[in-house]
Structure 1
Amino acid sequence: MRLKALLVDDEVHILNNLSKVLPWEDLGFEIVGLAKNGVDALEAAITHQPDLILSDIRMPVMDGLTLIQKVREEGLTGEILLLTGYQEFEYARTAIRYGVRDYICKPINYYELEDTVRKLAKQIVEKKKQKNKEQLLNRMANLANENNLLHSLLGQETAKEDILWQDEEESDHPHSYAVLLLDMDGYAHESISWPFPERKAWNLDIKQKLKELFLPLLRDFTVLQVREGEWCVVYDTVINPQLTQDELSLVYESLQTLVADKLHMHIRMCLEQEPLTLAEMSAVYQRMQQILILDPPQGWFTDVQSVTSDLLKPIPGEDLGAVDAQWHWIEQFGSGLRNGNYEAMTQMIGELKAYVGRLNETSVGRSEKLLYYLLIHLLREMREMQMLPGEQEEAVWLRLQESLSVKELISLIVSMIERFKDSLSTKKSSEVLMMSAQNFIQQNLGADFGIEEISDFLGISCSYFCLLFKNHFGETFVEYLTRQRIETAKFMLSGSEKSITQIGAEVGYQERRYFTKVFQKYTGMTPSEYRLKDSPAS
């Protein structure tokens, strides 16, 4: 780890001696700047962010004490070592207030200075290592939290006792959540011509923009991309006030300005602020999707609490079971696509045709809307699974520009399913994808990765990966990854002489304390206790 040093003194011969006499490379430093006054030094400090500033106190233009004050005001936290021939108490008291680490008196004893710098270097390196560990620990916790929330939205809630990253105190006081769904209306059509890297980059830009826009409004919130062109902002209702439509309008205007260059794209928001548990999130998410389908598309904002129950009720004379089946088809078509189950999708086509045959005049308009959404849903799903060439998708969208009857919409859906059947012979099945995922996990067990990295590797979206993974392995990605890491660690503890810290690092836990915490929660004992239990002496 190479550290950066900035040297400051108005006496040129002292500055030269400081840069040449001390063995800076051996001490672990790279000299990033030499300055003759405080003004130049401040500019260099802001530019290079040095780990150590070695500065004289008495200098023209800006003295050393003013320099360190300005450095701290800029938020720079590097260590400061002062060179001074002045030992008055007032200087010392001012310097201490701004975090000066030590003093070297002039004339300089270079042996003493070298020894001081060497000790400081060790302390700086240790502080950096600790900071990196804490950042890694926070990132792992954030990844786990995002994964858990995504699984919950998709109806794959992780059991409370299996949330291994959660503190005991937190687990006794479960969170309650609010959900804001943002959908980019028109995205599926407008993005047809975009290459995959452009679509991915654009969606990531929107996700990052959402984080920036909600940062002044919320604490402890998570932005999840469920699929292309759709995001959910999930936040804790205990520590956050309710969002107002005026606050959300500012977010809407900023986002709408951002997508203004993409024609016919319109942002729609649906908000549920009644406190939700993790187990309730999936049903609410599905309800919000239904509302955005059935609610008139002119407005940009819908509050779930303001939606009348009539919106989601069947029209008089319409069979309630048939209405439920429509939403069931939307779910099942997606599941059939992901699992490569052509037979199940063919069966649902039969159900759709039978449903159309029973329609009465009052329910035709509503059914057209739902079938239209089902068709768009199939387009988005097949695109994310890379099952539909761009020209075929464009042809479907051209058909949708026409005024299609219910029967014509059914016919178009059937043709989409036939295309899906043709693509099955050339695309990886879900089983092959999950075998690839399993190999990726085993080969990268010690690396820091999450759902985004493994989804990119497989070439599918995060939401598809979560659903495929849970269906195939019977547990969520986080549960599976944790189990693989701990089981591997158990084997290594029993069969190797490596230290607990080394073993933890090799299975993906760079910080021993966090490794011990997860291991103990998983096995009921610490790594040391487990190793002792399996030792020959025991």
Structure 2
Amino acid sequence: MRLKALLVDDEVHILNNLSKVLPWEDMDIEIVGLAKNGIDALEAAIQHHPDLILSDIRMPVMDGMTLLQEIRKQGLTCEILLLTGYQEFEYAQTAIRHGVRDYICKPINYFELEDTVRNLAAEIREKSKKQKKEQRLNRVAYLANENYMLHSLLGQETEEEGVLWDEEDGLANKKAYSVLLIDLEGYSHRSISWTVLERKAWNLRIKNMLKDIFSPILKGQTVLQIREGEWCIIFPSPDQDHPITKEQLYPGYIILQTLVDNNDGMLFQMCLEQNYLSLNELAMVYERMQQKLILNSPNEWFLEAGTNNLESTSRPELGVTESKWHWIEKISSGLRNGNVEVLAQMTHDLKSFVGHLQENSIGQSQKMLHYLLIHLLREMREMQLLSGEQEENIWQRLQGSLSLKELLSLIVSLIEQSRDSLSTKKSSELLMMSAQNYIQHNLESDFGIDDISEYLGISCSYFCLLFKNYFGETFVEYLTKQRMEMAKSLLYSSDKSITQIGSEVGYHERRYFTKVFQKYTGMTPSEYRLKDSVGS
């Protein structure tokens, strides 16, 4: 690991000696700046974030002790080694109080200084190594827990003992959960003209904003996204004496709605369930919250789920359609797994359902089929089973008032089109479609060929062969391109720092992210962001 050092002294000959006498290259340390006073040194430290600063105490403009205090005010955690001809005790006391690692007296013994710098550099590297290891473990734990909660939300089997949250997060021993479901009405239609990367970047931006907006209110939250335009926040249930209120959520709603006010027809809605839920109840409640939002007027931004009786299998406002909502996930599963038999059965079940409807259930059934159609469009778009022109034609038809029969006809025709497309695709094409979907949903994660091959259930060598034949480039080339395009979108549309954006596209070290981005675009992330801001 190459370290960065900043040298500070008002005596030019000492500054030159420091930069030339010590074997910096041999110690694998880069000198990023030479400063003759504290002001210049502070500017250089803020710009370069050195790992080590060697500074004189007595200097003009700003002395070494003031520099030390200002550096700590900036939140910089670099190690500092003071050089001085003054040995008064009060200097040592002040220096120690502000985190100075050592105190070298002038005239400088350069052999002693070299030993001191080498030892300090070794400590810095070891500390950095431990921090990176801890960060990786924390990220692994975070991703594992997010995946764990996602499986629970989808009703897939999980073992509660597998949760990895730290006890300080409040989730390790807590068995009661609550849910806030956030849906963006009109998203599917308005995002027709967006590219895949634009949609992914936009959804990721909202997901990250939700974490920031609601973390003070929903302690220990986990933000999940199962489908585009919808986000689900799971959090430890609040104390019954201090429930979450509509008024607490309203400022967050205003922030979110402000983002889409220029897009006609896009409205955020929230549905809150804060009754105590166990993990195996999450899937049922999630489904009911979806239904409640769909059946409610989109102009009403907030709803209380109020699922007081989770064992109930029917509710007056849902009636006969409630048992059919599982079709949504069944169709998704059939499409993603290429199971044409499941899709054929769905066509039969839909026709039978509509054919046996009672007159008083038609209104609710129309709403259910309308949502089923929108969900089917989303899935077909992601799997590239539907052209943009076809999707736009369907949305044009949905602008009018469609009868139950017309809705059924549209859904059946789309299912049949999907079946035909899936039947004619080779198994290798389906594998690569799954690979593409996996990559798009895991851009921020640290994964490689082994992981994706295991996910697809094929060998690494066979995966590499299929991938190159299908996409015309290697897996690494393709992944890098996807991450860089996502980074470009985030740099343009987000106020996140370069480090944060790098982490969100899978590069958790800023220096390496900058290197890859510059090779891909010909400019650094900062230069790219500045170019776009100047151009706008």
Which category of TM-score, normalised to the shorter sequence, fits these structures? Answer: 0.7 to 0.9
Summarize the Cα distance change of 1:392–1:432 in structure 2 as closer, same or farther, 3 Å threshold.
Answer: closer
Distance 1:27 1:211 in 2: 42
Summarize the Cα distance change of 1:140–1:407 in structure 2 as closer, same or farther, 3 Å threshold.
Answer: same
Summarize the Cα distance change of 1:114–1:195 in structure 2 as closer, same or farther, 3 Å threshold.
Answer: same
- Contact 2:267–2:299 (CA under 8 A) maintained in structure 1: no
Which residues of 2 match residues 75-474 of structure 1 at below 5 A? 75-163=75-163, 173-237=173-237, 242-305=243-306, 313-314=315-316, 322-427=320-425, 433=431, 448-449=446-447, 454=452
User: Could you tell me which amino acid in structure 1 is paired with residue 220 of structure 2?
Assistant: D
User: Could you tell me which amino acid in structure 2 is paired with residue 123 of structure 1?
Assistant: E
User: Could you tell me which amino acid in structure 2 is paired with residue 281 of structure 1?
Assistant: L
Deviation at 1:215, TM superposition (A): 3.2
Deviation at 1:216, TM superposition (A): 3.3
- Contact 2:164–2:172 (CA under 8 A) maintained in structure 1: no
Highest RCO, 1 vs 2 (Cα 8 Å, sep ≥ 6)? 1
Summarize the Cα distance change of 1:426–1:59 in structure 2 as closer, same or farther, 3 Å threshold.
Answer: farther
* Partner SS for 1:305: coil
Deviation at 1:406, TM superposition (A): 0.9
Q: 1:482-537 CA deviation, whole Å, 9 max, x = no partner?
A: xxxxxxxxxxxxxxxxxxxxxxxxxxxxxxxxxxxxxxxxxxxxxxxxxxxxxxxx
Deviation at 1:391, TM superposition (A): 1.2
Summarize the Cα distance change of 1:260–1:331 in structure 2 as closer, same or farther, 3 Å threshold.
Answer: same
Match of 1:55 in 2: 55
Deviation at 1:432, TM superposition (A): 5.0
Summarize the Cα distance change of 1:401–1:311 in structure 2 as closer, same or farther, 3 Å threshold.
Answer: farther
- Contact 2:141–2:165 (CA under 8 A) maintained in structure 1: yes
Whether 1:72 and 2:55 are equivalent positions in the alignment is no
Aligned residues: CA RMSD = 3.3
Deviation at 1:337, TM superposition (A): 2.1
Summarize the Cα distance change of 1:238–1:314 in structure 2 as closer, same or farther, 3 Å threshold.
Answer: closer
Match of 1:490 in 2: none
* Partner SS for 1:227: coil
Which residues of 2 match residues 21-36 of structure 1 at below 5 A? 21-36=21-36
Q: 1:56-94 CA deviation, whole Å, 9 max, x = no partner?
A: 111111111111111111111111111111111111111
Distance 1:92 1:255 in 2: 52
Distance 2:302 2:187 in 1: 17
Match of 2:10 in 1: 10
Distance 1:334 1:186 in 2: 20
Deviation at 1:245, TM superposition (A): 1.5
Summarize the Cα distance change of 1:311–1:436 in structure 2 as closer, same or farther, 3 Å threshold.
Answer: closer
- Contact 2:383–2:433 (CA under 8 A) maintained in structure 1: no
Distance 1:244 1:118 in 2: 57
Distance 1:299 1:141 in 2: 37
Q: 1:319-375 CA deviation, whole Å, 9 max, x = no partner?
A: x6x434422333322232233333333333333333323333322211111111111
Summarize the Cα distance change of 1:426–1:250 in structure 2 as closer, same or farther, 3 Å threshold.
Answer: farther
Q: 1:282-331 CA deviation, whole Å, 9 max, x = no partner?
A: 1111011111111222211111129999997347xx9x6x4344223333
User: Could you tell me which amino acid in structure 2 is paired with residue 247 of structure 1?
Assistant: Q
Identity %: 64
* Partner SS for 1:381: helix
Distance 1:148 1:353 in 2: 36
* Partner SS for 1:234: strand
Deviation at 1:115, TM superposition (A): 1.0
Unaligned runs of 5+ in 2: 440-444, 457-536
Distance 2:305 2:190 in 1: 28
Unaligned runs of 5+ in 1: 442-446, 459-538
Distance 1:183 1:156 in 2: 22
Summarize the Cα distance change of 1:269–1:428 in structure 2 as closer, same or farther, 3 Å threshold.
Answer: farther
* Partner SS for 1:46: helix
- Contact 1:148–1:158 (CA under 8 A) maintained in structure 2: yes
- Contact 1:157–1:278 (CA under 8 A) maintained in structure 2: no
Deviation at 1:430, TM superposition (A): 10
- Contact 2:152–2:158 (CA under 8 A) maintained in structure 1: yes
- Contact 1:152–1:281 (CA under 8 A) maintained in structure 2: yes
Larger Rg: 1
Distance 1:429 1:398 in 2: 34
Distance 2:298 2:238 in 1: 32
Match of 1:466 in 2: none
Task: Please identify, of 229-238 and 178-187, the stretch whose mean Cα deviation from structure 2 is larger.
Answer: 229-238
- Contact 1:175–1:238 (CA under 8 A) maintained in structure 2: no
Distance 1:235 1:400 in 2: 36
Summarize the Cα distance change of 1:428–1:43 in structure 2 as closer, same or farther, 3 Å threshold.
Answer: farther
- Contact 2:314–2:322 (CA under 8 A) maintained in structure 1: no
- Scaled by the length of structure 1, the TM-score of the pair is 0.76
Match of 1:524 in 2: none
Distance 1:214 1:423 in 2: 42
- Contact 2:55–2:81 (CA under 8 A) maintained in structure 1: yes
User: Could you tell me which amino acid in structure 2 is paired with residue 150 of structure 1?
Assistant: L
